[in-house]
Structure 1
Amino acid sequence: MSTRLHAAIALAAIGLTAAVTPKAEACGYGDGQSWSSTHWSLPPAALKSLASQAAAASPQVVANSTNPLQALEPITGLYMFTFTAKGNKTIPDGVQLDQGFATWHADGTEIMNSGKPPITQSFCMGVWEQSGARAYKLNHWAINWDSTGTVFLGLVNIQESIKLDATGNTYSGNLTITPYPPSGSPAGPSVLGVVTATRVQVNSN
């Protein structure tokens, strides 16, 4: 029996079972209408500030970092990310799926604060490993609730394959978002997309 099925059954055993609805969402999964919700966007001023900072950053930011963990694992740090749809039959390319903040820890774990309404579970967690030069793979799990925060809709898995740029200040890559109902299987249709992210510096505002 798979790990995800064990996890889903354990949650169901404490009374969290419910039928999956077409609007099931978790850290970036939902129906086509939810992708355009204003809940999924950060203020334009925040986007502009971080974009300007990344453009002006020195290529030696990571190498000269005073954080020894970041020198050991260059991906380590806090990023503002954006998920964008690409390659789906029912969601147009370019539609924003999610936006928020993700922290990559030097011990190989990761935590995300999604742009979703908190009542539906906006925090989720993952594990990562380096797959090449400045390349990383992330396996990320979320627990999915309905808009009332009382009905358990299942688990959601997010897989990312990303590349950290030479400056160490941005990364980009592909992602797959797959929902699992309370029973654990079969999985629902996956959502495909791309992820881009910009490092948040100590002096970011």
Structure 2
Amino acid sequence: MKTRMQAAITLAAIGLSTIAVSHNARACDFGNVQSPTNLHATMLTYTQDSPNVALTAAMRHEDGRGYANPLQKLEPITGLYRFTFTVQGNVADQGFVTWHADGTEIMNSGKAPQTQSFCMGAWTQTGPHTYRLNHWALNWDATGQTFLGPVNIRENITLAPGNNAYSGDFTLTQYTPDGKQPVGPTVHGTTTAMRVSANSN
């Protein structure tokens, strides 16, 4: 009898804890943005046996060709872009760049592979549609044998309406191999970028 009473009390406590946790979870949600777990669960319910299941608007692209990324709802800059750097009217570099929702960034430059490796940065949002990026690359000579030093690129960009493009300005500073002293003048230029999606060419 005593054992049954203890079991009943334990089950009641678990039930109350579940209610409390559920209430707190609802109080801390992100509105229409679903977590990846909920997104996965909802996707599983949409089968060929139930073609009339309505998908949540926050999970569906307007063109209906795929599910929206919940992280992009939280951080609109998140995603892959094709970028162009321009200096005094001339294209200085082109390639691909990915902005991650955790505040980091990685770039695949169009420069010769022997002269540089992949480069990475960290970003912060400075306004409703503006961002600042602190980006570092490693620079080598034309032979790929002599390390010239790290290169720092600072960008200030504005995300366009629709969140599919951005533009702004950048500065590029070459440092000595030990990373302590700037070498030569700082280069100033502009940057533009277009989003690459799962459905774009």
What TM-score do you get using the length of structure 2 for normalisation?
0.65
For the pair 1:190 / 2:192, whether they are aligned, the reply is no
Q: Deviations over 1:12-39 (max 9, x none)?
A: xxxxxxxxxxxxxxxxxxxxxxxxxxxx
Q: Which residue of 1 aligns with 2:101?
A: 106
Task: State which drifts further: 102-111 or 144-153.
Answer: 144-153
> Higher RCO, 1 or 2 (CA under 8 Å, sep at least 6)?
1
Alpha-carbon distance in structure 1 between the residues aligned to 2:179 and 2:115: 19
Secondary structure at 1:69 match in 2: helix
Distance 1:65 1:199, change over 3 A: farther
Q: Which residue of 1 aligns with 2:126?
A: 131
8 Å Cα contact 1:115/1:122 also seen in 2: no
Residue 150 (structure 2) aligned to one of 149, 155, 169: 155
Give the superposition deviation at 1:204.
Answer: 1.5
Give the superposition deviation at 1:65.
Answer: 6.2
Task: State which drifts further: 144-153 or 129-138.
Answer: 144-153
Give the superposition deviation at 1:186.
Answer: 2.6
Secondary structure at 1:126 match in 2: strand
Alpha-carbon distance in structure 2 between the residues aligned to 1:185 and 1:127: 20
How many residue pairs get matched?
138
Give the superposition deviation at 1:184.
Answer: 2.7
Q: Which residue of 2 aligns with 1:200?
A: 196
Percentage of identical aligned residues: 62
For the pair 1:142 / 2:144, whether they are aligned, the reply is no
Which 5+ residue runs of structure 2 have no aligned equivalent? 1-61
Distance 1:184 1:122, change over 3 A: closer
Larger radius of gyration: 2
Alpha-carbon distance in structure 2 between the residues aligned to 1:160 and 1:115: 18
Alpha-carbon distance in structure 1 between the residues aligned to 2:155 and 2:186: 13
Give the ranges of 4+ consecutive aligned residues of structure 1 lying more than 2 Å apart after TM superposition. 183-186
RMSD: 1.8
Q: Which residue of 2 aligns with 1:71?
A: 73
Task: State which drifts further: 136-145 or 182-191.
Answer: 182-191
Q: Which residue of 2 aligns with 1:23?
A: none
Code of the residue aligned with 2:142 in structure 1: it is: S
Code of the residue aligned with 1:117 in structure 2: it is: A
